Amino acid sequence: MFLASIYLDGNLPGRGYARVEIQGDRIGEVSIAGSERPGAPLLSPGLADIQLNGFAGVDFSDPELEPEAAWSVLPHLWKTGVASFCPTLITNSQERLLRNLRILETARKASRRFAQAVPCYHLEGPYFSPGNARGVHDPALMRPPDWRLFQELQEAAGGNIGIVTLAPEVPGALDFIHRARSAGVIVGLGHTEASPEQIHRAAEAGAELSTHLGNGCPQLIDRHANPLWAQLAADRLSASLICDTFHLPPDLVKVIVRMKGTDRCILITDATHVATLRPGRYSIVGTEIELLPNGKVIRADGACLGGSALAMNRAVPLFMQLSGLGLEEALRAATRNPARLLRRQGMCAELAPQQPANVLRAQYHPEALQVEALFLGGDEVYPSSG
């Protein structure tokens, strides 16, 4: 059956004014027609968020989560330019994790769009140590990694747990990292009080990511022997960053960018279900959190941050402001870099022939990208005619 091509015109940041052809579910020809044109919309791969705890009232760790709720986040995310995201489950009991992974898999099998948008799941915890780096994670539910029990989770997830964030100082962490690496699961380091030596051993064992670098660590650390410097120095680790102006100051963002390089920086939201909701008190896995009127999310006792209410279309320009980088580099941190880390089919790493046709057209504004259209697998999902 012949499918008519769709053509999108706009600026490819750093490349020029272009026409991008969509042929079915793939990108066809990409033609550069000259230099970028002022006022024209930008074209980019759809944004990717590899750490999303929830959105628009839906908490992926909710003990009553149902498949319909899981896929109900899609139009809300499409409005922010997100084509790919990793539903993230935080520290919980084995039984609750098994249940919600099965729910996510049911959603994947029942909704083609959900399956297209979700390359894999992110398990943040429960393999942490109950110290000063725990954040909103419940220390009573933390435990050392056990490969047999993880395989139970992976079976419930249909083999789709693609990222596990753990603390490398917990017993058994290095063996788990070796096994995960061999199984194609990306290991991130986070919520950790590890020594520099433990960080470097974890990287050598196969860890590939520093999860929300600069966060998930104690408020007070040794000026030299601490997990932050070690992760900055470990060339094997990419860094994911929460750029909502609350999690990281500009100086630290600039240092991370200079140490990691723009190719190893990945924008995430770490958003919870409070994103898009009204200010007030909410809970996640039994821990009370509060969304303040300024958009900051804290643990209700004020001891630490509690995730974010950030959206990816805001994260891109905020990253530019905090880092001093241009639009081209910021978009790479929200598209190409996470796609290359995950190495999963269905993610569009760049606008090039034969890439999946996940394409964003938007106008750049300093406060947020204004999404005009989003294509997922070649279909226009935003705006949607229904």
Q: What gap in Å lies between CA 347 and CA 344, rounded to an integer?
A: 6
Largest CA distance in the chain: 65
Q: What is the pLDDT of residue 385?
A: 53
**Residue 30 contacts residue 351 (beta carbons within 8 Å):** yes
Other Cβ atoms within 10 Å of 66 Cβ, number:
13
Q: Tell me, what's the pLDDT at 212? A: 98
CA distance linking residue 47 with residue 259, whole number of Å: 24
Q: Which of 258, 217, 267 is nearest to 239 (CA)?
A: 267
pLDDT tens, residue by residue, 332-361: 999 999 999 999 999 999 999 999 999 999
CB 323 within 8 A of CB 331: no
**Dihedral of CA 40/46/50/53: which sign?**
positive
The segments of the chain whose pLDDT lies below 70 read 1-3, 385-386
CA distance 92 to 190: 16
In sign, the C-alpha dihedral spanning 91, 92, 95, 99 is negative
Look up the CATH number of domain 46-347. Answer: 3.20.20.140
Pairing mode of beta strands 280-284, 297-299: unpaired
Q: DSSP alpha helices (H): ranges in 125-172?
A: 147-156
Count of CA atoms in the C-beta half-sphere (13 A) of 168: 28
Please state, in angstroms and rounded to a whole number, the distance separating the CA atoms of residues 102 and 156: 5
* Local structure of residue 305 (DSSP, 8 states): B
How confident is the prediction for the chain on average, in pLDDT?
97
Q: What is the per-residue pLDDT across 36-54, written as a single tens digit (0 to 9) for each? A: 999 999 999 999 999 999 9
Q: What is the pLDDT of residue 151?
A: 98
Q: Residue with structure tokens 């200010």? A: 279
Q: Which residues contact 309 (CB under 8 A, 6 or more apart)?
A: 244, 271, 272, 274, 275, 276, 277, 291, 295, 296, 297
Q: Would you state the pLDDT for residue 384?
A: 73
Q: What is the pLDDT of residue 2?
A: 55
d(CA 331, CA 122): 22
CA distance linking residue 306 with residue 118, whole number of Å: 24
Q: pTM for the full model? A: 0.97
Instruction: Write phi, then psi, for 181 (nearest 5 degrees).
Output: -60, -45
Q: Which residues pair with 58 in a beta bridge?
A: 55
**Per-residue tokens: 114:** 């959900």
| Phi-psi category of residue 343: left, alpha or beta, with phi > 0 → left and psi -120 to 50 → alpha | left
pLDDT one-digit tens code per residue, 303-323: 999 999 999 999 999 999 999
Taking Cα atoms as reference points, which of 222, 175, 168, 176 lies closest to residue 192?
168
